[in-house]
Structure 1
Amino acid sequence: MQAPDLSIILVNYKTPHLIVDCLRSVEEHTSGLTYEVLVVNNDPDPTGQAVVLTAFPSTRWIEMGYNSGFARANNRGIAEAKGRLILLLNSDTLLIDNVFKRCASVLDSRPEVAAVGPMQITREGKVHTEAYDGFSQLRRYFYIVPTSGFFKHLLHRLLPDNHYSDPNEVDWLIGSFIMTRRETVRKAGGLDENFFMYAEDVEWCWRLGKQGKMLLLRDAFYIHLEYGSSTDYQERKVTHINRFKPQMHVSNLLWVRKQYGVGAYLILILHYLTLLPVIFGWKIGVNLLNFRNPFSGLENQREFARQVGIFLRFFWKTLFNQKGFYKI
Structure 2
Amino acid sequence: MKLSIIIVNYNVQHYLELCLDSVVAATRNIDSEVIVVDNASVDESVAMLVRKFPDVIVITNTSNLGFSKANNLGVGAATGEYICILNPDTVLGEHVFDEVFAFAKAKKTPGIIGVRLVDGTGHFLPESKRNIPTPSVSLKKILGYDSAYYDSKITVEGSGEVAVLVGAFMFLKKTSYLEIGGFDERYFMYGEDIDLSYSILKQGYKNYYLGASTIIHFKGESTIKNKVYRERFFGAMTLFYTKYFKRNKLEQLLVQVGVKVALLKSILSLKIGIRKDQLEKYSPTAYILVSNQEILLDRLQVAVSKPIRIAGCLKHFSAGEEVFFDASYVSYIHIIKEIITHKHSGLTFKIIPKNSTFAVGSNSSDGRGDIIHFGEEN
Q: TM-score, normalised by structure 2?
A: 0.61
The alignment of Structure 1 onto Structure 2 pairs a total of residues equal to 260
**Alpha-carbon shift at residue 272 of structure 1 (Å):** 6.1
1:325 aligns with none
Q: 2:65 aligns with which of 58, 65, 68?
A: 68
Name stretches of at least 5 consecutive residues in structure 2 with no aligned partner. 269-378
> 1:288 aligns to what?
none
Change (3 A) 1:167 1:35: closer
The structure carrying a bigger strand percent of its residues is 2
Post-superposition Cα deviations, 1:30-89, rounded to whole Å, max 9, x if no partner, equal 344211010101124273211122111011110222100000000000101010001100
Q: Which residue of 1 aligns with 2:208?
A: 215
Q: Take 1:68 and 1:32, find their aligned partners in 2: how far apart are those partners?
A: 33
Q: How do 1:246-265 and structure 2 match up within 5 A?
A: 246-261=231-246, 263=248, 264-265=251-252
Which residue of the other structure, out of 23, 26, 47, is the alignment partner of 2:23? 26
Retained in 1: the 8 A contact 2:134–2:245?
Answer: no
The equivalent of 2:167 in structure 1 is 175
Greater displacement, 264-273 / 166-175: 264-273
Aligned to 2:189: 197
**Offset from partner CA, 1:228-254 (integer Å, 9 cap, x none):** 23121x6x9xxxxxxx92221111111
Shift of 1:160: 11
Where do 1:1-328 residues align within 5 Å?
4-45=1-42, 47-129=44-126, 131-136=128-133, 140-143=137-140, 168-209=160-201, 210-232=203-225, 245-261=230-246, 263=248, 264-271=251-258
User: Which structure: greater helix fraction?
Assistant: 1
| Aligned-partner residue type, residue 9 of structure 2 | N
Query: By how many angstroms is 1:111 displaced?
Result: 3.3
Give 2:218's aligned amino acid.
L
Judge which range, 254-263 or 4-13, deviates more. 254-263
Identical-pair percentage: 25
Aligned counterparts of 2:95 and 2:37: Cα–Cα separation in 1: 24
1:41–1:167 distance in 2 versus 1, CA, 3 Å:
closer
Runs of at least 5 residues in structure 1 that lack an aligned partner in the other structure:
237-243, 277-299, 305-328
Deviations 1:270-317 (A, max 9, x none): 4567x79xxxxxxxxxxxxxxxxxxxxxxx88967xxxxxxxxxxxxx
Q: Kindly tell me: are residues 104 and 161 of structure 1, through their superposed partners in 2, closer, same or farther at Cα, counting changes over 3 Å?
A: closer
Q: Distance in 1 between matches of 2:266 and 2:31?
A: 54
TM-score normalized by structure 1? 0.70
Aligned-partner SS, 1:218: strand
CA contact (8 A) 2:241 2:255 kept: no
Post-superposition offset of 1:142: 3.5
Quick one: distance in 1 between partners of 2:220 and 2:213? Answer: 21
For the residue of structure 2 that corresponds to 1:37, the secondary structure is: strand
**Counterpart residue number, 1:322:** none
Partner SS, residue 171 of structure 2: strand
The offset of 1:99, in angstroms, is 0.6
The one-letter code matched in structure 1 to 2:192 is E
Query: Is the CA contact 1:173–1:216 (under 8 Å) kept in the aligned structure 2?
Result: yes
AA aligned opposite 1:267 = L
**Letter paired with 2:240:** W
* Structure 2 residue identity aligned to 1:196: F
Higher mean C-alpha displacement, 121-130 vs 61-70: 121-130
Amino acid at match of 1:251: A
**Residues 146 and 96 of structure 1: CA distance in aligned 2, closer, same or farther (over 3 Å):** closer
Compared CA separation, residues 34 and 14, structure 1 to 2 (3 A): same
C-alpha distance after superposition, 1:102-150 (max 9, x if no partner): 1122333423111111110123332123655111488534457766xxx
Q: List per-residue Cα deviations over 1:251-271 (Å, max 9, x = no partner).
A: 111111112125343321245
8 Å Cα contact 2:91/2:215 also seen in 1: yes
What is the rounded CA distance, in whole Å, between the counterparts of 2:151 and 2:26 in structure 1?
Answer: 35
Distance 1:261 1:35, change over 3 A: same
Q: Which moved more, 1:126-135 or 1:83-92?
A: 126-135
Does the CA contact (< 8 Å) of 1:184 and 1:211 recur in 2? no
Q: Is the 8 A contact 1:39 1:59 kept in 2?
A: yes
Contact 1:132 1:138 (8 Å CA) reproduced: no
Q: CA RMSD in A?
A: 3.3
